[in-house]
Structure formats: structure tokens, C-alpha cells
């Protein structure tokens, strides 16, 4: 649609100049003003003339009429001037000959863009905190982050994905103490991260105590944990060994989940990596006179920007989350030379990012405006909010497992003869969760309802993956497609082609707004349009071989576009379900 819009915009701009040669308007402006009418009766594109009224000193109604009379283009079959709008209907012949042909020629590059070429994007996402549970709350950062990566790659950017592991901090002191008290090498080796989480939860509960049950808080244990972390920071060998081991056990677990999602990272440089990179930044802050001492702590005052101060050093001189983020950003700029650095986290961290981005600006780093925080809303499960510290959490792994199990059950009934059943069940089960999650705009708070996510006939992952498999199955049965022209003869065919044609635009909008949900909704639009076409237009049983070939080509184009869009949102392409 981008090309079609451009050529029509050219003609409209000419029309405007015809009315007033001095009017300052170009085709790109017109592209931005074109709209999709809410109703198919009003055509495929609309151009509102209201804004031009002032420059052209005529009424919108007159302007629309004059431009409509002069507008003719191969891509357009009808133009009407209605109440100050140009309503444009696209030519089916043009669409048949251009859109489908382009899709079939470009295949997996159809919809891709070039505006990112030569630019580098660094994406910081997923970034779980080691030894704390990897739970459903991390679904957002993981799948939004990866989709943004895929989208940027699709637009030509070079991308570098960083898993900024939360692999440093007082939680390791706690874990070390808990492990020595209640754990064993054997138990951690066999039970893996579950054991670590159990130990972590146990020590947190012990430290907190339970006043209701008359169990007092254990300050001694808290003190001991701080001391062990301090030893770790000082490079104590035994603690370092344990720490490394805890990290590697956790990583193994995360990698399983990443594999299910088809995600890989370029770097796992976590918080610990930046320990020795912070002092230089703290010194710079001090040299620039930006650090203030407040109750013993070092802060950057942000009152001028209506924000609470950014904490740089605690009273005991230890560094904080923002300190590390500043050091990491400087390192990444120097080493990866990004044009844009994207951070995907829950909206609860909005203030944190706003604060340290501002500090980076105050430090005089000219790239401060290349930092982008992409927040998302909270996730709850059937209403229950998910906490990390209590142990009362839903692990992502368990959620995936449950979904896969349920899908396997459905498939055992629906398609008992399917080969590699487990693989398909995993793709559909995990896909259902990803799709359900990404169907919402990212800032919306989501209540996760498993039954809805897994349904085969709602607006779900299984529904769109099933649609993809349906297109594949038609194509497999058909074998080689005869060389015929694509001809659009029915409304369903026209609607399908027009939907497919919008892919590139959706990609651009999704990148501009950091919104993978645009792709999810696009996929649904395509699935709905394809299924209407499939049910109303005989494909294999079409009598005329030319019609059959044309419809098969349309089916193939749908498969390509759906597949390309699936790739952008971590959804696996299922040839058979």
C-alpha cells in the first residue's frame, strides 16, 4: 500500500498545485494525510480536504470536487468527492497485477523496509534477576523486546540484543547464606533453579518473620547476608565460586524458555559486568558538581525537572541500580555505537528510566536522546497479581508447560495422525500465550485467562496458526501452480489483497510506536480475510483452471505474508496442525 499511496499522493499533490501553483504541499505530506475510511462503501482510501481550505482559499467541498475531476491513475478505479473528502476506490486489476506479484517475488522480504539501513540498535530486554523466579511478569519484556528486535531488523537496522541479567546485588548474599544453612550441592544440581528459588524465598520469609504467627523478623540473618555480599564484592574466592555457579544454573533454565520462544541474545553481560565501570561515571558526576550529599547518600538533584532525586551512592558508598545503568549505557555507546538504545521493562520502572536518562543528559553525553524506554502494563493471572518474593508466583515455564499440555490434548482428538505432535503442540501452546499477550496494546494491564488464550476459534494464536496451516495444506495438495494471471473477481479476494497490501505500513507504525500489537492485529485481519475468501471462493474445486491458479497464488501470497508477520512476533510457522 505504501507504493500505491505514493503514486496517488503524487496525483493529488498535482491537483492541489493545479488550484494554486504556490501551495506548499508535496506528495509525502499527502501520504501522511491519507486515511482508511471506516466503511468499505466509502472506498479504500480517503483524502480530507479541510486543512487545504486555508491555503487554497476555497471550501473543502470545492477543493475535493476539483481534485476528483482531475485525478486519474491506473491504481484508481473510482474517485468521488463527498462532503470535502476524496473517496478513492482502488482498481482490482491494478491490485491483482501489482500487490500479489510483489509478494510472490519478494517472499520473505515482503513488507521489509530500508529506513534502518546503516544504523545500529541496541535492545536491552528480558533481563531476569538471577535466582529469583522467571515468572509471567517477565513475559512482557521478553516477547515485546524480541518483537521489537525483529521489527527493527526487518526495517534494515543492525540489532544487538542484550540480556542484562540481574546477576549482582544483595540477593546473592542471601542466597549464599541460605544455601550454606539449608541447601546442598546435590540438591541444587538435581533441582536446579527451583531449589535456588526455594532457598531464596525461604530466607526472605525468615528475615521478614511472620508477626501473625508470632515469628519475629530475623535481623541477624539479614546482617549475615549483607556481610556475605560484601565479601563477594571484595572478591572472596569461595563466594565468587558459588555466585558463578548460581548464575550458570539459572541461565540453563532461562535458555530453555528462550529456546521455546526462538529467542537468542547477542550478549548476556549482566549487572555484575559493570561493577568496575561505575567509578569513572561517579567521578565524572562529582567533577561536574552534579553530586549532592543528602543524608550521607550521593544524589543528583532533579527537582528542576519535577522528579525525585536520582540515587547514585548509598550512605555506605555502595552503588545503585541507576548508577549501573548509567555506566552500562556509556559502555554500550562506546562499544556498540548505537543510534538508538531501547530498554523494555514494566511501567513500574518509568521513573527510574526518566531519572537516569536525565542524568545522562546533564552529564553532557550528546546521545542522551537516543535512549528509549519502552514500558508495558502489569500481568495478572485470572485476577491475581504476581509477586516475586513470596514464592506465590506463576513461573513462565509452568505456564508454557500447561499450555502445551492442553494443546496436545486438543490435538490428540482433532488430528490424531499428525507427525511430530509434540513439536506442533509446543509451537501452538507457547504461541497461544505469546499471541494472547501481544494482542493488547503494551501499556494495557492484562488479566491472563488460559482458556481464552488457547481457544481455537477466538482471536487467538491457535486460530491464526491454524489459518496458516490451512493455507499450507491447500498449497501442498495443489502442487505446482500453473502460470496464470491473478484476477480479482470477488469482494472476498479484493478484501484479502487489500489487507495483505497494508503489511509494510503496519511494520512502520509498529516501529514508530514500539507496538508489536499492531502486527498481532494485522495477522488477525489477514486471517479473517483469508478465511472469508477460503469459505466463499472455491479454490481447488474452481472449474476454470485460470481461476484455480489465480486463487492458489492468492493463497500462496497469504502464506508468505502471514509467515513474515509471525516471524516478527515470536510465533512459529506451523505447516500442519
Q: Please name every residue paired with 342 in a beta bridge, in sequence order, or none if there are none.
A: 123, 372
Nearest distance from residue 547's CB to ligand ARG, in Å?
A: 54
**CB of residue 91 to ligand ARG, shortest distance in Å:** 50
Structure-block grid coordinates of residue 212: 501473625
**Please, what is the minimum distance in Å from the beta carbon of residue 214 to ligand ARG?**
33
Q: Footprint of ligand ARG on residues 443-462 (CB under 6 A)?
A: none
Q: Is 74 helix (H, G, I), strand (E, B) or coil?
A: coil
* Closer residue to ligand ARG (CB): 63 or 247: 247
- Three-state SS letters, 32-65: HHCECCCCHHHCCEEEECCCHHHHHCCCHHHHHH
253 vs 325, beta carbon nearer ligand ARG:
325
In whole angstroms, the minimum distance from the beta carbon of 179 to ligand ARG comes to 21
Query: What does the alpha-carbon distance between residue 411 and residue 462 come to, in Å, rounded to a whole number?
Result: 11
Q: Contact region for ligand ARG (CB under 6 A) — 72-80, 81-89, 124-132, 430-438?
A: 124-132
Give the residue with the Cβ less far from ligand ARG, 60 or 128: 128
Interacting residue with ligand ARG among 60, 111, 166, 462 (CB under 6 A): 166
Within a 10 A sphere around the Cβ of 9, how many other Cβ atoms? 22
Nine cell digits for residue 335: 562499544
Minimum distance of ligand ARG from residue 414's CB (angstroms) = 39
CB 136, min distance to ligand ARG, A:
13
Select the residue interacting with ligand ARG from 91, 92, 127, 298 (CB under 6 A).
Answer: 127
Minimal distance in Å, beta carbon 183 to ligand ARG?
23
Identify the residue among 110, 164, 463, 522 touching ligand ARG (CB under 6 A).
Answer: 164
129 binds ligand ARG (CB under 6 A): yes
Q: Which of 345, 355, 439, 465 binds ligand ARG (CB under 6 A)?
A: 345
Q: Which stretch binds ligand ARG (CB under 6 A): 5-13, 125-133, 150-158, 290-298?
A: 125-133
- Using DSSP's 3-state secondary structure scheme, residue 2 falls into helix
| Angle ∠(49,51,53) on CA atoms, nearest 5 | 75
CB of 130 to ligand ARG, least distance (A): 9
Phi, psi at 193, each rounded to 5°? -60, -30
Q: Does 124 bind ligand ARG (CB under 6 A)?
A: yes
DSSP result, 311-364: EEE-TTS-B-HHHHHHHHHHHHHHHH--SEEEEEEEGGGHHHHHHHHHHHHHTT
- How wide is the angle at C-alpha 306 spanned by C-alphas 304 and 307, nearest 5°? 105
**Sheet strand arrangement including 76-82:** 45-48, 85-90, 76-82
Using Cβ positions, the residue closest to ligand ARG within the complex turns out to be: 166
Interacting residue ranges for ligand ARG, rule: CB under 6 A: 124, 127-129, 164, 166, 325, 343, 345
Amino acid at each position: 500500500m505504501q507504493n500505491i499511496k505514493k503514486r496517488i499522493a503524487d496525483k493529488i499533490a498535482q491537483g492541489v498545485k493545479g488550484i494554486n501553483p504556490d501551495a506548499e504541499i508535496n506528495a509525502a505530506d499527502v501520504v501522511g494525510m491519507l486515511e482508511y475510511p471506516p466503511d468499505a462503501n466509502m472506498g479504500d482510501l480517503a483524502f480530507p480536504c479541510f486543512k487545504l481550505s486555508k491555503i487554497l482559499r476555497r471550501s473543502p467541498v470545492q477543493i475535493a470536487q476539483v481534485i476528483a475531476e482531475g485525478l486519474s491513475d491506473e491504481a484508481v478505479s473510482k474517485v468521488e468527492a463527498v462532503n470535502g473528502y476524496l473517496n478513492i476506490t482502488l482498481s482490482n486489476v491494478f491490485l491483482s497485477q501489482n500487490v500479489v506479484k510483489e509478494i510472490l517475488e519478494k517472499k520473505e522480504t515482503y513488507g521489509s523496509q530500508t529506513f534502518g539501513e546503516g544504523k545500529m540498535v541496541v535492545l536491552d530486554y528480558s533481563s531476569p534477576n538471577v535466582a529469583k523466579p522467571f515468572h509471567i511478569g517477565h513475559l512482557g519484556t521478553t516477547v515485546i523486546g524480541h518483537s521489537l528486535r525483529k521489527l527493527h531488523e526487518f526495517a534494515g537496522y543492525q540489532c544487538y540484543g542484550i540480556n542484562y541479567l540481574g546477576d549482582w546485588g544483595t540477593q546473592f548474599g542471601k542466597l549464599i547464606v541460605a544455601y550454606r544453612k539449608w541447601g546442598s550441592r546435590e540438591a541444587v544440581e538435581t533441582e536446579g533453579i527451583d531449589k535456588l528459588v526455594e532457598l531464596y524465598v525461604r530466607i526472605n520469609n525468615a528475615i521478614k518473620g511472620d508477626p501473625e504467627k508470632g515469628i519475629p523478623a530475623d535481623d541477624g540473618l539479614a546482617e549475615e547476608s549483607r556481610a556475605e555480599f560484601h565479601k563477594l564484592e571484595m572478591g572472596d574466592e569461595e563466594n565468587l565460586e558459588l555466585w558463578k555457579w548460581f548464575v550458570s544454573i539459572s541461565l540453563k533454565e532461562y535458555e530453555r524458555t528462550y529456546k521455546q520462544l526462538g529467542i537468542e541474545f547477542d550478549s548476556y553481560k549482566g549487572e555484575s559486568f559493570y561493577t568496575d565501570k561505575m567509578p569513572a561515571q561517579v567521578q565524572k558526576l562529582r567533577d561536574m558538581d552534579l553530586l549532592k550529599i543528602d543524608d550521607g547518600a550521593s544524589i543528583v538533584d532533579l527537582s528542576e525537572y519535577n522528579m525525585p532525586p536520582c540515587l547514585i551512592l548509598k550512605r555506605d558508598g555502595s552503588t545503585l541500580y541507576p548508577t549501573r545503568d548509567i555506566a552500562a549505557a556509556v559502555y554500550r555507546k562506546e562499544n556498540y555505537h548505537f543510534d538508538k538504545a531501547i530498554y523494555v521493562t514494566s511501567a513500574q520502572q518509568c521513573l527510574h528510566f526518566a531519572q537516569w536518562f536525565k542524568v545522562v543528559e546533564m552529564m553532557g553525553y550528546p546521545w542522551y536522546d537516543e535512549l528509549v524506554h519502552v514500558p508495558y502494563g502489569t500481568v495478572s493471572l485470572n485476577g491475581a497479581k504476581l509477586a516475586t518474593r513470596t514464592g506465590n508466583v506463576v513461573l513462565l515455564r509452568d505456564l508454557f508447560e500447561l499450555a502445551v499440555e492442553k494443546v496436545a490434548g486438543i490435538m490428540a482428538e482433532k488430528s490424531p495422525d499428525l507427525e511430530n505432535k509434540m513439536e506442533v503442540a509446543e509451537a501452538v501452546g507457547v504461541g497461544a500465550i505469546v499471541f494472547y499477550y501481544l494482542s493488547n496494546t503494551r501499556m494495557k494491564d492484562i488479566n491472563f485467562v488460559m482458556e481464552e488464550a488457547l481457544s481455537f476459534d477466538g482471536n487467538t494464536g491457535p486460530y491464526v496458526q491454524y489459518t496458516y496451516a490451512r493455507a499450507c495444506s491447500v498449497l501442498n495438495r495443489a502442487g505446482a501452480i500453473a502460470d496464470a494471471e491473478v484476477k480479482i473477481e470477488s469482494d472476498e479476494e479484493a478484501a484479502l489483497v487489500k489487507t495483505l497490501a497494508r503489511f509494510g505500513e503496519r511494520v512502520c507504525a509498529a516501529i514508530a510506536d514500539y507496538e508489536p500489537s499492531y502486527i498481532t492485529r494485522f495477522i488477525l485481519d489477514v486471517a479473517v480475510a483469508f478465511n472469508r475468501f477460503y469459505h466463499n471462493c472455491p479454490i481447488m474445486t474452481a472449474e476454470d483452471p485460470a481461476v484455480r491458479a489465480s486463487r492458489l497464488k492468492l493463497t500462496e501470497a497469504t502464506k508468505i505474508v502471514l509467515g513474515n508477520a509471525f516471524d516478527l512476533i515470536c510465533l512459529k510457522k506451523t505447516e500442519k496442525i
